[in-house]
Structure 1
Amino acid sequence: MTYDVVVIGGGPSGLMAAHTAAKNGANTLIIEKGSKLGRKLAISGGGRCNVTNVLPDKELIDHIPGNGRFLYSAFSIFDNQAIIDFFENLGVALKEEDKGRMFPVSDSAQTVVQTLLRELDRHDVEKRLNTRVEAIHYGNELHEIILPGKEKVATKSVIIAAGGKSVPKTGSEGDGYAWAKTAGHTITELYPTEVPMTSREPFILNRTLQGISLRDVAITALKPNGKPIKTHRWDLLFTHQGISGPAALRLSQFVVKALKNFEVDELVVEIDSFPDEHENQLVDRLTKMAKESPNKAVKSVWKPLLQERFLIFILERISLNPDTTYHHLEKKKVIELAQELKHFQVKVNGTLSIEKAFITGGGVSLKEIVPNQMASKFMDGLYFCGEILDIHGYTGGFNITAAFSTGHVAGMNAAEHALSR
């Protein structure tokens, strides 16, 4: 049988591509090597599915540091507001949370997944699950998808939505890169992004700070000469391997690149627990708090400011007895404490592997893609969408926005190409 459009990959971009192609009149098949469609969608946003982010286009692009500007054309066709309208028109009520993140009111990713699957059924999209694509043979009029047992599927348009190399349990194992190369495409260097950072600091290896969470802090990656590379502000978590949490995840790609560019084994990241206060203001506040409760131990007086374990760790680090009271408190120790709270340094030596990352950096070179079509510049009837492209954003609904947008554009143009034949 010959299809108008075959979509390879059942992630967010593949589901949107298949839906859009079928809605535009194309006889569509979606092929997924796993047993379920939408596996990555089902675990996104902590199982709640952060479907998009409501920031304005320019800010949205700023939150996609991996070639976000390429998406201006796609967003002019199908942007974050279009994604919101799409789901709400299908009965999925959405709500806005902090930093512009949009979630289903149900707080369940399954609401989103099941809605997309119902749409595929409604538009008669054929599904092949547990089916691994072994190769793609490109032709002038038709492309052949080679399946196990030498089965061949012919199609006028093929959309590769096979994902990157991150979270392989969802099926993203990098299969699509070989099919892109066969068509003449370049794969830029792959690297982990949105991934926990690792450290060999004694307090990390000894698990002294494991499980400590810091809220709304600023974390900065520093060059070997001490100058800042990039700062991110959000929450942070110390782990048994290093640093995680949204602020650290966002910073990770800059650490990966800096370690390579500067050819060093370690890099310093600096944590500012009070980014809205100058150091001298913090000294004044700490002193005032101690003075107002002169007979209390400083560990109790300052406890409201940050997690007790972290506070005691820093007090011991600067050789200030946690049981000291205001009567015996030296001004220089308060200054040292403020310095530590504003400039707590951790040496990091890398990140967890690309498979442990949320998102893959690198992919099919965007110089070889038509931005308002997601079409290959080299192969007629070949389209790409989602994480296989050299596009990556921060967590917070930005990657899924790119996936849905590029999926919609690829599906629309793949259908148009097929039906014009």
Structure 2
Amino acid sequence: MTYDVVVIGGGPSGLMAAITAGQSGANTLLIEKGKKLGRKLAISGGGRCNVTNVLPDKELIEHIPGNGKFLYSAFSHFNNYSIIDYFESLGVELKEEDKGRMFPVNDKAMTVVNKLVELLDVYQIDTSLQTKVDAIHYGDTHHTIILENGNKIDTTSVVIAVGGKSVPHTGSEGQGYAWAKKAGHTITELYPTEVPMTSNAPFIKAQTLQGISLRDVAITALKPNGKPIKTHRWDVLFTHEGISGPAALRLSQYVVKALKRHNVDEITVSIDCFPDINEDQLVQQLLDASKEVPNKSIKHAWKPFMQERVLTFLLEQADLDEYTTYHHLEKKKVLQLAYLMKHFSFAVNGTLSIEKAFITGGGVSLKEIVPNQMASKIMDRLFFCGEILDIHGYTGGFNITAAFSTGHVAGMNAAYIALENR
């Protein structure tokens, strides 16, 4: 069998690459080793599919801390607003939620997946599911895909879109790195990003706060000398192993890098539960709230400030009896409580494995990729898109935006080169 373009990997970037290649007039095959296409899309955004984010380009790039600037060229061809127009033109209505996140109006990821799969038929793109690629043999005029069953497929252009090593049950097991290396590419060090952090802190081990979410807090990773590395503001969730939630996930990559850079076993993180006010203001608010109900316990008076289990825990840390009333309240202990509420600090010792991360950091070195084509600088008619590249963003639609954008550019250029060589 011979094709103009073969795309390996049926995730968001691979689907977009195949559709764009087919739409451009190339005879295209999409190979996926799993039973279904778009498995990572189907589980993204909690099964609702966070298709993109409406932040302007500059802010969008800032939310892709892993080499986001590389995407300026790709975004000039197909950016977040292109993605919105694309899906709405297909009849998939989108809505904006907090922090610029865009979801299908019906909150169903499968609406997005099914629409993309429909387009494969529209553009007469062949698909081969449950098909494992064993190797790629690169040639001067064509490349040969060797399947696990021994079959061979010749193609003018190859697009590798197999993802990284995260969420392996969706098919991303890192197999693409070997094919990239065979073509002469460098793979930068791989590490987990957007991943829950682990901690041996006694209250974590005791599961004291397990299942509790702190809303709209600021969490900071600190260097061993106490200076801040990075702060993120959003929600933090306490787990039986450590912390998760969007703010913690975003911070995780900085913790991974700091543990290695400083060659330490632990990094301190500090949570500010009241990021909009300073300590003096918080002390005053606590005192005022207690003064309003002077005969009731401080625990009762301060219940509106935070979840009860967290409040109880911090009262203990501040050596404050929860049954104390305003009449017997020591101001120095209120000062201590306010400090703890603004600096809820504990050590984290790492993260869950790269397989349990949402996104893989590292990948095919961008120094070896043409940014406005997603083409290899080393091997003719070889293209990369999506998470296999050394690009990663925060959760919130940024990684899918990068996947769709790089997929579109890779598919378009793979088709262009193939048709030119017919």
TM-score normalised to structure 1 length: 1.00
Give the aligned partner of residue 206 of structure 2: 206
Give the aligned partner of residue 413 of structure 1: 413
Q: Specify every segment of 5 or more residues in structure 2 that has no aligned partner in the other structure, as ranges.
A: none
Task: Give the superposition deviation at 1:133.
Answer: 0.2
Task: Give the superposition deviation at 1:346.
Answer: 1.2
**What is the root-mean-square deviation of aligned Cα atoms in Å?**
0.4
1: CA distance, partners of 2:29 / 2:223? 49
User: Could you give the per-residue CA deviations for residues 126-172 of structure 1, whole angstroms, max 9, x where no partner exists?
Assistant: 00000100000000000000002321000000000000000000000
Task: Give SS of 1:107's match.
Answer: coil
Give the aligned partner of residue 114 of structure 1: 114
1: CA distance, partners of 2:404 / 2:114? 16
Task: Give the superposition deviation at 1:333.
Answer: 0.8
TM-score normalised to structure 2 length: 0.99
Task: Give SS of 2:133's match.
Answer: coil
Give the aligned partner of residue 72 of structure 1: 72
Identity %: 75
Instruction: State the number of aligned residues.
Output: 421
User: Could you give the per-residue CA deviations for residues 53-104 of structure 1, whole angstroms, max 9, x where no partner exists?
Assistant: 0000000000000000000000000000000000000000000000000000
Give the aligned partner of residue 398 of structure 2: 398
Task: Give SS of 1:84's match.
Answer: helix
2: CA distance, partners of 1:159 / 1:133? 13
Give the aligned partner of residue 261 of structure 2: 261
Task: Give SS of 2:149's match.
Answer: helix
Give the aligned partner of residue 271 of structure 1: 271
Which amino acid in the other structure matches residue 120 of structure 1?
Answer: L
**1:339 corresponds to 2:339:** yes
Give the aligned partner of residue 95 of structure 2: 95
2: CA distance, partners of 1:296 / 1:412? 69
Give the ranges of 4+ consecutive aligned residues of structure 1 lying more than 6 Å apart after TM superposition.
none
User: Could you give the per-residue CA deviations for residues 300-339 of structure 1, whole angstroms, max 9, x where no partner exists?
Assistant: 1111111000000110111111111101110001100000
Give the aligned partner of residue 389 of structure 1: 389
2: CA distance, partners of 1:263 / 1:138? 41
Task: Give SS of 1:192's match.
Answer: strand
Give the aligned partner of residue 123 of structure 1: 123
Give the aligned partner of residue 244 of structure 2: 244
Structure 1 residues 182-221: aligned runs within 5 Å: 182-221=182-221
Give the aligned partner of residue 55 of structure 2: 55
Give the aligned partner of residue 144 of structure 1: 144
Give the aligned partner of residue 84 of structure 2: 84
Give the aligned partner of residue 352 of structure 2: 352
2: CA distance, partners of 1:317 / 1:82? 51
Which amino acid in the other structure matches residue 222 of structure 1?
Answer: L
Task: Give SS of 1:134's match.
Answer: strand
Give the aligned partner of residue 12 of structure 2: 12
2: CA distance, partners of 1:79 / 1:148? 36
Task: Give SS of 2:391's match.
Answer: coil
Structure 1 residues 316-331: aligned runs within 5 Å: 316-331=316-331
Which amino acid in the other structure matches residue 212 of structure 1?
Answer: I
Task: Give SS of 1:180's match.
Answer: helix
Give the aligned partner of residue 174 of structure 1: 174
